[in-house]
A = this chain, B = another copy of it.
Amino acid sequence: MQKQDRKPPTIKDVAAHAGVSVMTASRAINGKALVSAGAREAVAQAVKALGYVPNASARALAGSADRRVALLHSNSTTSAYLGELLLGALAEAPQRHLHLVVEQCAPGAFAQEIVDQVAQAHVAGVILPPPLCDWSELVEQLAQRDILVVAIAPDRDGPDMLSVGTDDRHAAYDLTRHLVDLGHRRIGFIEGNPRHRASARRLQGFRDCLADHGIAADAALVAPGDFSFRSGLDAAEQLLGLDTPPTAIFACNDDMAAAAITVAHQRKLNVPGDISICGFDDTPLASAIWPALTTIRQPIRDMSREAIGLLGMRLRSPDDGAHGVIGKVKLDYQLIRRQSDAVPARH
């Protein structure tokens, strides 16, 4: 195993190997039109033979268009969520010929400061995960400076906003459906933070499903929460303290579901034997507790991937007028079934 090519092959080498000009090679590599099938083929072979990999820096430098984009994040995002986001974006950016930079915004920064920071990074677009994407002041100022914005799972989704998300309502519907199919009729629901629209959408899905299955809605079975473990404790106490407690609980996120399990155990209830408990989000917590949570997984990595894709499309053609590109992407969620649910106990 000797040290072979000290320097990686360039497009020149490819062109020479294929017997065409550098320009033709470039066009062929980038899949542009106006290249004969023969040339295209020859170039493809040369690329493979030489193990050619385009130099991203050179591309960025030569390309006139601004192809730098940023992933902006606040410190309030959990690192697991952020990690997934980064992986998706980092994987997709090169494919789209985009240069990704990652910017963190300072803790108590004003929108103005953040915009300045982003502007100074010379980016043409920004990916905004929650909760940044719901900060309308920020979004507006970014738009004013002609910086493209893609929102990840925004709470409210303006018509002229690029966004990527999942269908929370539908996911909640499906999870409820799963419980109903198991035989549950009295299902408790622990709400999330009322300021997050996602919370309302999940509740909506829950209610729709019950209605569709002819199960009467019982206001006592819906307990308030705010996504925190602490609030889940209170909500679960409320639900399990009812005269006729539910046989299943649907918590708006995993943390609260974990809290519900804690309360159930304190009350000597077996999960899932006596009561089924489901979460939402499939955070690492979901599989780090016993019993492991049945929950809904959002394809976070794919979301940032799609977000980069959206930016790539929009940045390609600068014709602002006819932006016929679809600006909304809805991704499929997944129901992850683990050990926290079962058929209801017989009386």
Residues in A lying within 8 Å of B, measured CB to CB: 1, 3, 8, 51, 53, 55-58, 60-61, 78-84, 86-87, 90-91, 94, 99, 101-102, 104, 120-122, 144-146, 229-230, 233, 255, 258-259, 262, 265-266, 283-285, 288-290
Contacts and interface: CB of A to CB of B under 8 A. Distances in A.
Contacts of A283: 284
Contacts of A3: 145-146
B122 A53 contact: yes
Copies of this chain, how many?
Answer: 2
A90 B102 contact: yes
A336 to B, nearest CB: 15
Contacts of A53: 120-122
B146 A290 contact: no
Most buried by B among A60, A101, A121: A60
A79 B83 contact: yes
Please list the 10 inter-chain residue pairs (A to B) with the smallest Cβ-Cβ separation, ordered nearest first: A83-B83, A80-B80, A79-B83, A57-B60, A57-B57, A90-B102, A8-B122, A57-B61, A82-B83, A86-B86
A151 B292 CA distance: 33
17 contacts: A3-B145, A8-B122, A53-B120, A56-B99, A57-B99, A78-B80, A78-B284, A79-B83, A80-B284, A81-B83, A83-B83, A86-B87, A86-B90, A87-B102, A229-B290, A262-B265, A289-B289
Contacts of A87: 79, 82, 86, 102, 104
B233 A290 contact: yes
Given A83-B86, A259-B290, 18 more contacts: A8-B122, A51-B120, A53-B121, A55-B61, A57-B58, A78-B80, A80-B80, A80-B83, A80-B284, A82-B83, A86-B86, A86-B90, A86-B102, A230-B290, A265-B265, A283-B284, A284-B284, A284-B285
Contacts of A60: 57
B289 A258 contact: yes
Nearest to A287: B229
Q: Which of A87, A91, A230, A266 has the most CB of B within 10 A?
A: A87
Given A3-B146, A121-B53, A288 B82 contact: no
A338 to B, nearest CB: 12
A255 to B, nearest CB: 5
A290 B262 contact: yes
Contacts of A79: 80, 83-84, 87, 284
Contacts of A285: 284-285, 288
